[in-house]
Amino acid sequence: MNDKSLGQHYLADALQTFRDYKKLAERAFAQISDEDFFKTLDEESNSIAVNMKHMAGNMISRWTDFLTTDGEKPERDRDIEFVMLPGTSKDEMVAYWEKGWKCVFDAIEPLQSDDLLRTIAIRGQDDTVVQAINRQLAHYAYHTGQIVFLAKHFKSSEWQSLSVPRNKSAEFNAYLEKKMAESTGSPRESRLDEVVDFAKSKQ
């Protein structure tokens, strides 16, 4: 594998991972009521809606004009991302969420291997494109985990699993082995889809 193909592999994998985080969060909050969407566990915790608002605000700031301007845009008000304004609807938050993710994909999809070591700035500090992507992968994984945790908490026993169910790891490994044997060289599904399909088959 040469440097260029390694770079393209990294970009493709990063894109797929971002898409999986988005899908994971959406499959989680799709299971809950509008009331639970805005509910917090205590005064110090954030609701699913607030997590989404913060993630989208970060995405719009970080990925707009990704290669040419600082990732912390002067018009961003980060503090307000953690405040849910009265009258805000779930549909409005989902639309804002989609706007944020569009910025992510519009910025990353055109990138080439030669872009990976270019320098971009975030709050005046220089990062390579690789560092910037890795930074956001970690950030979005963190908040996606919070969204899934909250949705699972609110649904309780009615939760539809988005991961390998308890005591089913051996079955899942066998399921993957069978799928790989039947694939005949066709591209694999996303890792998330494989897990969710298996979980559904056990419900």
Q: Which value, in Å, is the radius of gyration of the alpha carbons in the chain? A: 19
State both tokens at 12.
Answer: 């493709």
Show the tokens assigned to 140.
Answer: 């979005």
Alpha carbon distance 18, 176 (integer Å): 22
Reduced to 3 states, what is the DSSP secondary structure of residue 107? Answer: helix
Pairwise pLDDT comparison (183 vs 71), residue with the higher score? 71
Cβ pair 160, 203 in contact under 8 A: yes
pLDDT reading at 1 higher than 70: no
Model confidence at 183: pLDDT above 90: no
3-state secondary structure of 124: coil
Whether pLDDT at 186 is above 60: no
Cα end-to-end span (Å), the chain = 41
More confident position, 181 or 70: 70
Q: Which domains does the chain have, with CATH numbers?
A: 3-158 (1.20.120.450), 161-203 (no CATH)
Tokens of 87: 């009258």
Q: Is residue 175's pLDDT more than 90?
A: no
Q: How many CA atoms lie within 13 A of 1 on its CB side?
A: 7
Show the DSSP H helices in 30-168 as ranges.
34-37, 48-63, 90-108, 129-155
pLDDT in tens, 23-41: 999 999 999 999 999 999 9
Whether this model's pTM surpasses 0.95: no
Share of the chain above pLDDT 90, in %: 76
DSSP letter at 164? P
Tens of pLDDT, residue by residue over 84-111, are 999 999 999 999 999 999 999 999 999 9
Angle at 129 between CA 24 and CA 73, to 5 degrees: 80
Cα 173 → chain centroid = 25
Residue 89: partners with Cβ closer than 8 Å, 6 or more residues away: none
Cβ neighbours for 178, distance < 8 A, ≥ 6 positions apart: none
